[in-house]
A and B are shown apart, each in its own frame.
Chain A
Amino acid sequence: MAEPKISFRNVSKRFGAGDDAFTAIQNLTLDIEDGEIVTVVGPSGCGKSTAMNMVAGLISQSSGEVLVDGKPVSGPGPDRGVIFQQYALFPWMTVRENVEFGLKLQKLDKAERRERALHYLGLVGLADFADFYPKTLSGGMKQRCAIARAYAVNPTVLLMDEPFGALDALTRVKLQNQLLDTWSKDKRTVMFITHDVDEAVYIAHRVIVLAANPGRLQEIIDVDLPFPRDDEIRLSPEFAAIRNRVWRAVYHHDAQAA
């Protein structure tokens, strides 16, 4: 296979200094292939958000290398789209203006911006809400708008930090299916952080399980289930078996610590 899309090479991250120093990640080495969906699970303090923020370029590692397309990450950029748990829609902009924000930064002219924005809003089913302000949207709609905003700038990597964590179970399942649907149309690399073991297995090619204190790689579990995924797969014994493996890797390992 070609070179990995995202690589962690012996990456460590320490916060603070002296006695207060805290090791968020220790010696993480991990490759994520182009077009792969990888989910990252682990207890609080396992450094999963930290790892993602390093790929996003929002924080830098203390040692080791973080590479995207073989090049060291030196800061945030529109080639890596980020979807935050708190949606992070700009409340002073309408849904459309939010989606157009990144396009404006790429100096696209008005007509093209508008067209692209409406295209991606249509993809997430929000075309009718283009001129609404975020305050009028439900949580699921806000997150869909955030997804459209991230997609619109055409990133090759999508970094999702517990994007569906704040949503109810039904909406979550819908958005998981929608994410897979969108992914099947143009296969971008997805690094998806979640607390939800079912979600981690359902959408992923591989589940990365991290352990906490210090954050480190615990286990990588391959999800040998076919795409497209649907309820049939979600309810299959094969799914259950993988879910049980992930569950044990996440919780059993730290049963005493919790």
Chain B
Amino acid sequence: MSVIDDIDIERPKTRRWSPGNLGWGVLSFAGGIGLWWLATLAGLSELPSPAAVLRRAVELALDGQLWGDMYASLRRVLIGFALGSVLAVPVGFLMGWYRIARAVIDPWIQFFRVIPPLAIIPLAIVTMGIDETPKIFVIFLAAFLSAVVSTYQGVVSVDRTYINAARVLGANDGTIFARVVIPASTPFILVGFRIGLGSAWATVVAAELIAAQSGLGFRMQQAQLYYDLPTIFVSLVAIGVLGLIMDRIVVRIEERLTHWQERV
């Protein structure tokens, strides 16, 4: 140890410039875009150049179409996700807390989990019409299934010692549930939300590719018909950016709510 300390002390303190994690991320993106630019300049690819994509993005943003599409997609995701998680939390708690509820509900969850939500779309369109309902339903299903499983896992894996500690201090079942089970399973629930949001976002785009009159997926589908590559790129980037922002928001909330956790 002392040897390492000595080396540390001896080392000349020339602070070399070093970007932080965010800096490296930005650099990495910049590098990737640079390579893309070079590839299109050299004529190695039929892809539109970054400049063409940027131009199209500005056009679409100025005439409002981009915002309209983003709004349509986001609205579906947020409504579906909200409905799915609001239902997933009580159902997950029910399954974790009552053995019978678990035995009754679990087979259904496992069954629906192996069906990709997109496979439900034809059925949903036939039974629910072509408006927003089938899309929101499919997203709801995707978010619900992801969140319910992790909520239930969270409840089941609450350390018995915490429950015993609460009981010997005089807590009844209701108190144990509210003050021990819920906080102890919060980290799991938030992971479920994160996964649920991811699958909701993946599902909305696919649902719009199949059946929609608006949204980022629909726009790509249209652009494909007209061989409009820049618009496809703009939509892709918009999907990626919105997905990333939503994920960061959930991560922030997670850090807020579970700051008490020991992190390794």
Chain A: interface residue total (CB-CB under 8 A): 25
> How many Å from the CB of B157 to the closest CB on chain A?
14
Report yes or no: B164 in contact with A82, Cβ–Cβ below 8 A: yes
A93 to B261, CA, bound (A): 10
Residues 91-148 of A contacting B (Cβ, < 8 Å): 91-93, 101-102, 105-106, 133-135
Q: Mark A73-103, 1 if CB is under 8 A from B, else 0.
A: 0001110111010101011110000000110
Q: Once bound together, how far apart are the Cα atoms of A56 and B168, in whole Å?
A: 7
Residues of A within 8 A of B260 (CB): 91-93, 133-135
Given A58-B164, A82-B164, A133-B260: A92 and B184 interface contact (C-beta under 8 Å): yes
In the complex, which residue of chain B has the Cβ closest to the Cβ of A78? B170
From 168 to 198 in chain B, residues with beta carbon under 8 angstroms from any chain A beta carbon are 168-171, 175, 179-180, 183-184, 186
| Interface status of B161 (Cβ within 8 A of chain A) | yes
Q: Within the assembled complex, what's the spacing in Å between the Cα atoms of A101 and B165?
A: 10
- Chain B residues within 8 Å of A81, by CB: 168-169
Q: Contacts A101-B179, A105-B175, A135-B262; is A88 near B164 (CB within 8 Å)?
A: yes
Which residue of chain A has the shortest Cβ distance to B170 in the bound complex? A78
Chain A neighbourhood of B94, CB < 8 A: none
Q: Is B70 an interface residue, CB under 8 A from the partner?
A: no
Interface residue SS majority, chain A: loop
Assembled-state Cα–Cα distance A80/B259 (Å): 32
Residue A149 interfacial (CB < 8 Å): yes
The residue on A at minimum CB distance from B172 is: A105
Q: Is the CB of B168 within 8 A of A58?
A: yes
Q: Can you list 27 pairs linking A and B with CB atoms under 8 Å apart?
A: A56-B168, A58-B164, A58-B167, A58-B168, A76-B164, A78-B168, A78-B170, A81-B168, A82-B168, A84-B161, A84-B165, A86-B161, A88-B162, A91-B260, A92-B183, A92-B186, A93-B260, A101-B166, A101-B171, A101-B179, A102-B169, A102-B170, A105-B171, A133-B259, A134-B260, A135-B261, A153-B170
Contacts of B179 in A (CB 8 A): 90, 101
Once bound together, how far apart are the Cα atoms of A90 and B159, in whole Å? 10
Q: Which of B127-179 contact A (CB under 8 A)?
A: 159, 161-162, 164-171, 175, 179
Query: How far does the alpha carbon of A238 sit from the alpha carbon of B169 in the complex, in Å?
Result: 39
Which residues of B have CB within 8 Å of A84?
161, 164-165
Number of A-B contacts (CB under 8 A): 64
Give bound CA distance, A88 to B262, whole Å.
14
**A-B complex: 10 closest residue pairs judged by Cβ atoms:** A102-B169, A88-B165, A78-B170, A92-B183, A82-B168, A135-B262, A76-B167, A88-B161, A105-B170, A76-B168
User: A106: which B residues are within 8 A, CB to CB?
Assistant: 170
Q: Is the CB of A82 within 8 A of B170?
A: no
Query: Inside 8 A of A93's CB, which chain B residues have their CB?
Result: 260
Instruction: Provide the B101-121 mask, 1 if CB < 8 A to any CB of A, else 0.
Output: 000000000000000000000
Least distance between B228 CB and chain A CB atoms (Å): 52
Chain A nearest CB, measured from B1 CB (Å): 20
A149 near B164: Cβ-Cβ < 8 Å? no
Known: A58-B168, A134-B260. 5 other contacts (CB 8 A): A84-B161, A90-B162, A91-B260, A92-B186, A133-B260
| B262 proximity list for chain A (CB < 8 A) | 91, 135
Give the most central of A57, A84, A92, A106: most B CB within 10 Å.
A92
Please tell me if the beta carbons of B169 and A153 are within 8 angstroms of each other in the complex: yes
Write the B233-246 contact mask toward A (1 if CB under 8 angstroms, else 0): 00000000000000
Expressed in whole angstroms, the Cα–Cα distance for A234 and B161 within the complex equals: 33
Neighbour of A82 across the interface among B159, B165, B175, B180, CB < 8 A: B165
